[in-house]
Amino acid sequence: MGRLGTANQSPYGGQDFRSSRGFPGYFYVDGVKTIDPSCPAENATSSGSCLFDYGPFGYIAPASERVGAISQFEYRFDNGITGFLEMAVQHNSSVAAGAPTPLDEDAGLTVPGNHPNNPFGQDIEIGRYRTVDAGARQWDIESDTLRFVAGLKGEINDWSWETAVQKGRSKSLQTGDRSQGWVRTDFLQQEIDAGNYNPFGGTYNDPAVVDRITTSLVRQGESHMTSFDANISGEAFNFGDDVVMMAAGIEYREEDVTDTPDDQFQRGLIFGTESVSAAAERDQYAAYVEFSIPLAENLELQLAGRYDDYSDFGTTTNPKVALRWAPSDEITVRGSWAQGFRAPSLAQVGLGPSQESQFFIDNYRCDATGKDCDPLDYNIEFAGNPDLEAEESESWNVGFIWAPTTDFGLSIDVWSITQDNKIDEQEFGPIYNSECNNQNSTVCVRLPPSGTDSLGTIQKIFSTFENVSSQEVSGVDISANYNHSLDELGLLKFNLEWAYQDKFEKDGRDYTGEYGYPEHRWIFSTNWEIGQFNTNMNISYVGEFEDTPDIDFDGNLDFDSNTSRTVDSQVLVDLQTSYRITESAKVSLGVNNLFDEEPPFAIGDGDSDLYGYASGVHNPRGRYIYTKVSFSF
């Protein structure tokens, strides 16, 4: 199975991220947590859970199919005006898979004392359990996107103008039938009450019974976008012996998005995939202007400004200043400063609740009761935040270009971006620290404590997006290119793009070099053109970074104190060659990850990276061979 196919990474030097929603599971007998007697010893924890390895059920690279087409038309009228049309359609199909349905205390399931398989001989509550006999859950996903653009463009004296209207629509449909593992809790309770379904001992129940506890589901999403824009550019006025160029435009955009899950979700009958209806909409107006002002023969100043009016976030005006100096044909120096504004996305504002898991040790309960002292998976219910404020930013860039010949060029850019009110997901640690030591918290919700316990088991923790106080990112980008003629053997092109991240500071903490934030990345590419053949080789590098950001699994990042392990760097090689059959047809053959490199091992953060690699940085896909045929008309 390999380390990418299991949630138990301990044999490879990592952590055991198996789920506490087991098969068999655990129960509450007279309010006391009681593990199923049939739980194998290697799956039992000291806190009374029976672990389940969900790793083999997920898709690291799910099957998908994409079919699309785009058409562009232009027509020149007798008066010199050109009309243009663009139509694009895209159909995608894919699957999403998950482990069999996980059930916990929220499901409210019970087993009567007269159940023929009840080993306790009295009414009990089901704590955590998984309907493995119903099979893994799977969504079949279909999406269709349509985009239409129509516009006019032309010239008036020394001015060029263009105006266009755009209409877009996207629909998605997710379906799951009863053979794909979707269990309804009320159906399950009925079969348990009737003595037909046996939740004990990791039993695979009769297929006819399993069929009666499953259901079919439909989830639909739809978004619409309508926009209009108009712009004009040309010579504004004379400035000494030179001419000031100007560009200006206006924009209008309206968009809406809806997500409509199956009614069975909204009635709380489906577990493991929380979902409710969500909807959001927005209108936006904008106007902008930009001037290019020649201050001297080789010195150019750019002044720009943009005004935006959002229906839900008010108005904002943001300037930009840029300077370009070319003391010679070989050397150019450039610099810029700008302010920016970004309203929260519709998803960040209107996202309906979704369920995810976080692995951590409930230290508050462990210290108070001696229970739940192992890392376990707890429910996090994540939703959008309608109270978000817009992000504001300030950025600057200073760059240098040296191009001594047409075949060689080198550029260096130093840049910095500071964002206030940066939108990010709430960090789990601060939520736990501030809320989970309170039995009555409405954010960290606990089950009622048993006996003399002061804190019950965590039932659910609510999380959302938030505006962090500030985020500052800075770095250096270097680019170099070189072309070399091989005469009758064609042309060789070399290119290097290197990025160094000097700072990634958020709320006073610098993440640079920490988990998920490598300091160095580069891509080296080689291209060989000869006749109708074109061959590319890309070598990409991602630098090393620290591992185990939460080594003690208490929910708090240990960047400052933990340097126990480093995630290795990675180099990948991609190769592609193509042949142009005709002016309008080309065939390509390529290999991504030529040497079939696995992602470097990472213990992870107890949240999303549970398969032994940093999913936000590295790609788990192995060697991938593909062919492609493209046509243009």
Question: How deeply is 271 buried, as exposed, middle or buried, from its count of CB atoms within 10 A (0-12, 13-18, 19+)?
Answer: buried
Task: Give me 567's structure tokens.
Answer: 């995630």
* Alpha-carbon span 103 to 122, nearest angstrom: 21
Task: Give me 323's structure tokens.
Answer: 């300077």
More confident of the two residues 547 and 61: 547
DSSP structural state of residue 374: S
Q: What is the pLDDT of residues 122-164, one digit of tens each?
A: 999 999 999 999 999 999 999 999 999 999 999 998 899 999 9
DSSP structural state of residue 617: T
50-54, 143-147, 557-561: least confidently modelled range: 557-561
* Alpha-carbon span 405 to 401, nearest angstrom: 12
Tell me if residue 433 falls in helix, strand or coil.
Answer: helix
Q: Is residue 607 over pLDDT 70? A: no
Task: Compute the 3-state secondary structure of the chain and give helix, strand, coil in percent, each to the nearest 5.
Answer: 10, 55, 35
* Alpha-carbon span 284 to 280, nearest angstrom: 14
With tokens 């929380």, the residue in question is: 274
Phi, psi of 293 (to 5 degrees): -115, 115
Q: What is the dihedral of CA 437, 438, 441, 446, to 10 degrees?
A: 80
Q: Is residue 276 over pLDDT 70? A: no
Q: What is the pLDDT of residues 470-518, one digit of tens each?
A: 899 999 999 999 999 998 899 999 999 999 999 999 878 888 998 889 9
Phi, psi of 402 (to 5 degrees): -125, 120
Q: Please, where are the H alpha helices in 214-362?
A: 263-266, 346-350
CA 41 to chain centre: 37
Tell me if residue 189 falls in helix, strand or coil.
Answer: helix
Phi, psi of 304 (to 5 degrees): -145, 155
With tokens 């104190």, the residue in question is: 561
- What is the pLDDT at residue 562? 60
Rg for the chain, CA atoms, rounded: 30
Question: Taking a C-beta distance cutoff of 8 angstroms, is the pair 424, 464 a contact?
Answer: no
372: left (phi over 0), alpha (psi -120 to 50) or beta: left
Tell me if residue 143 falls in helix, strand or coil.
Answer: strand
- pTM score of the predicted model: 0.81
Q: Beta partners for 468? A: 422
190-204, 270-284, 462-476: least confidently modelled range: 270-284
Tell me if residue 134 falls in helix, strand or coil.
Answer: helix
**Percent of the chain whose predicted confidence (pLDDT) is above 70:** 95
Task: Give me 551's structure tokens.
Answer: 């080594």
Question: Taking a C-beta distance cutoff of 8 angstroms, is the pair 57, 92 a contact?
Answer: no
Report how far apart, in Å, the C-alpha atoms of 384 and of each of 44, 191, 347 are: 36, 36, 7
User: Residues 336-347: what's their mean pLDDT?
Assistant: 90
* Alpha-carbon span 230 to 128, nearest angstrom: 59
Question: How deeply is 560 buried, as exposed, middle or buried, from its count of CB atoms within 10 A (0-12, 13-18, 19+)?
Answer: exposed
Q: Which of 525, 533, 518, 521 is nearest to 574 (CA)?
A: 525
Q: What is the pLDDT of residues 232-249, one digit of tens each?
A: 999 988 888 889 999 999
* Alpha-carbon span 138 to 178, nearest angstrom: 10
Buried b / exposed e over 21-34, threshold 16 CB at 10 Å, is: bbbbbbbbbeeebb
Report how far apart, in Å, the C-alpha atoms of 562 and of each of 14, 361, 374, 553, 556 are: 15, 18, 20, 12, 12
